[in-house]
Homo-oligomer: A and B are copies of this chain.
C-alpha cells in the first residue's frame, strides 16, 4: 500500500470532526462500516432512555404527555433535524416509518396535482418506495399510474401528466447520488412536484432542501441519523405547500384540535397535519439523542470527510485488492457518490461473512454487492485503512471460500 497506516493516523489527528466519535459507544475489536444500515449507539441514548422509562413513564405516567412534552416530540425532533437537511424548523416533522410517510406525501401530492395522473420513478429506487407507490397505484385503481423507468429516462419522461417525481437521493446499491437540484428543476419545469427519499443521505452530507427548491422529502432515522433500530422517520414539506396538502392517514395527531374529540377530521396547520397516530415515545427519545450527535457539526465538513473516507477506501482497495475480482459498483467521481463504497464480487456474500468474522462489519446486498458505509461522525481514517487491510487479507486466504452460502440477510 502506498498510503501507510501512519498517514491515516495523521489524518485522524487533524480531523476537525474527530471529537464527535466520543459521542458514540463503539464496541472493541469491531470496525463498523454499516452506519448506512444502522447508526452506532450514541452515548447519550442509554441514560436518556433510562430517564424516560424510569422517571417519565414510571413516575410521571400519563402526566408526561404535558409535563415532559411527549406531545411535542414530533415537531421538536423535526426542528432539530431540519438544519441537517437544509430545511426550516417548521418544515420537518418526525413520525411513523419512511414507508408510511411516503404513502402520505405521495397520496397528498397526486391529489394536489390532479388531474395529472402519473407518479414517475426509477426501477432502481429503493424497493420499499416502489412497493408503497405500487400500493398507492393499486388502491387508487386507475386514478394514478406509477411509471417506473430507467435512470437515464427520467428527465425525458417528465411531461404534463406527471404529478410527482419520486426518487431516492442516494442509491442503496451503488451509493450513487442524484443531482437533486437539477431533477427538481426538471420536475418543476414539467409542472410536477419533486419528492426525495433522503434515507441514504441524510446525516452523511450537506443537503439543501430549501436551497434546491425541493417540494417534499422523507427519510429514515436509523441510518446516518443514529436514531436506533427502526427509529421513526421524518417528513419535509416546503412551507409553500403545507396548507394545500391533505394526506389520507388522517389520524388524531394530525387534527387541528385532537383533544376536542370532535367526530369530523379538521387538519392541523403546518406540518402537524402530516401526523397520524400516537408517537412511539421510547423510539422517539432514542432518535432525539441520535440527532444530538450532530450538535455543532457543520454538514459541509461532514460531506468533505465522507468524500475523503470514500476516496481513501477506493485508493487503498485498488492497490491491495487489485487482483481479487472486485468491480467497483460506486461512481468513481466523488461528486456523484454518497457515503458508501460498493464493490461487486460473484462470491460477495461469502467474502462479507468472512470479513465480518475478521471484525469488519459491512453488509451484503443480493446478488453480488458488498457495501461499506462511512459515518463521518465516528468512522476514522485508520478504520478505513484497517478495513481494507483485512479485506485484502481475507482475499489472500481461503477462509471466505469455505463460508457456506446461505441466504442470510440483514436489514438496511
Contact = CB atoms under 8 A, between A and B. Distances in A.
Contacts of A128: 251-253, 277
A231 B286 contact: no
Contact of A46 (B53, B173, B231, B251): B53
Given A38-B62, A249-B99, A278 B230 contact: yes
Contacts of A32: 61
Interface string A175-211: 0000000000000000000000000000000000000
A282 interface: yes
A251 B131 contact: yes
28 contacts: A34-B61, A41-B54, A41-B57, A45-B57, A46-B53, A49-B53, A57-B229, A65-B411, A96-B277, A97-B276, A98-B278, A99-B249, A99-B277, A100-B249, A100-B277, A124-B263, A125-B263, A135-B247, A138-B248, A141-B143, A229-B280, A229-B281, A230-B278, A230-B280, A230-B281, A230-B284, A261-B365, A283-B283
Nearest to A125: B263
A99 B284 CA distance: 18
B27 A361 contact: no
Nearest to A255: B131
| A30, A233, A261, A407 — most chain B CB neighbours (10 Å) | A261
B58 A263 contact: no
> What are the nearest 3 A-B pairs in CB distance?
A97-B277, A99-B251, A259-B409
Contacts of A232: 280
Nearest to A364: B259
A107 interface: yes
Contacts of A138: 246, 248, 250
A186 to B, nearest CB: 22
B148 A263 contact: yes
A4 interface: no
A395 interface: no
A336 B366 CA distance: 55
A37 interface: yes
A50 interface: yes
A140 B138 CA distance: 11
B281 A249 contact: no
A363 to B, nearest CB: 7
Given A65-B411, A99-B251, A280-B230, A366 B260 contact: yes
Contacts of A251: 97, 99-100, 128, 131-132, 135
A289 to B, nearest CB: 10
Nearest to A102: B251
B139 A248 contact: yes
A298 to B, nearest CB: 26
A249 B279 CA distance: 18
Contacts of A30: 61
A366 B56 CA distance: 25
A280 B410 CA distance: 16
A81 interface: no
A356 B61 CA distance: 12
Contacts of A111: 139
A233 B253 CA distance: 15
Given A62-B34, A250-B132, A228 B100 contact: no
A398 interface: no
Nearest to A251: B99
